Amino acid sequence: MTNHDKVYNLIVDKSLILFNTQGIHKTSIQDIMSETGLPKGSIYRRFKDKNDIVLAAYEKAGLIIWSHINNSVENKATTLEKILAISEIYLDAVHNPPIEGGCPLLNTAVESDSTFPELKTMTSKAFNNMTMFVEALLNEGIESGEFTNELEPHSMASHLLASMEGAIMASRLSLSNEHIKNNLDFTKRLLLSYSV
């Protein structure tokens, strides 16, 4: 790894935490300079502007979350186990989320709306990819005979992810993981209702 790579990664890693904890709009280049210990020139030699840093940081967040997802489903035998394992990534959303500050998809979706079209596109793509992943798991569950054909994979995947994101938001807002645990319980009961 070259010095350029190390400095680039330092900027991305520190900025990711800043953006995810205090928000994109409230994070300034000065904040990034303070957090990294780098002068402005070192940052602008690698990124054209703050939006460029935001996009790189969000891409890194996606890699981190996908790593957690892949690790969580790796040794699970059933679709139900895999989906519950994905939900458990944020079991302690209040004190120990995979990335400090909570779910970057949720945080970014709120901030990106129409003010940052590139980020909105990136966030939308991430949600769609996650939906397709869960939908594929559900299709596997139907094909293997774990679930009945009455389960509609796309609608269920959309519902499960929207519920999970809502539970993360409610838990972080109330400073109680109760919402995550309730969602996990309801997810399990809902999916079991389609069991063969």
- Dihedral angle computed from the Cα positions of residues 164, 166, 169 and 171, in that order, rounded to the nearest 10 degrees: -70
State how far the alpha carbon of 32 is from the alpha carbons of 94, 99, 126, in Å. Answer: 24, 17, 25
- pLDDT above 70 covers a percentage of the chain that reads 98
Which residues touch 78 (CB under 8 Å, ≥6 apart)? 141, 146
Average pLDDT over residues 35-64: 96
DSSP SS3 for 140: helix
d(CA 42, CA 111): 27
State the pLDDT confidence band at 110, using cuts at 50, 70 and 90: confident
Q: Helices 104-112 & 50-73, crossing angle to 10 degrees?
A: 150
State the pLDDT confidence band at 108, using cuts at 50, 70 and 90: confident
Could you tell me which of 43, 166, 174 has the C-alpha nearest to residue 183? 166
Q: Is the pLDDT of residue 4 over 70?
A: no
Average pLDDT over residues 189-194: 97
pTM across the whole model: 0.90
Domain 59-192, CATH among 1.10.357.10, 3.30.365.10, 1.10.1200.10, 1.25.40.10: 1.10.357.10
Interval 58-74: pLDDT, tens: 999 999 999 999 999 99
State the pLDDT confidence band at 3, using cuts at 50, 70 and 90: low
Average pLDDT over residues 11-15: 98
On the 0-12 / 13-18 / 19+ scale of CB atoms within 10 A, 113 is exposed
Q: What is the three-state SS of 147-176?
A: ECCCCCHHHHHHHHHHHHHHHHHHHHHHCC
The pLDDT value given to residue 1 = 43
- Dihedral angle computed from the Cα positions of residues 176, 179, 180 and 181, in that order, rounded to the nearest 10 degrees: 100
- pLDDT above 90 covers a percentage of the chain that reads 91
Domain spans, the chain: 59-192
Interval 74-97: pLDDT, tens: 999 999 999 999 999 999 999 999
DSSP 62: H
d(CA 70, CA 74): 6
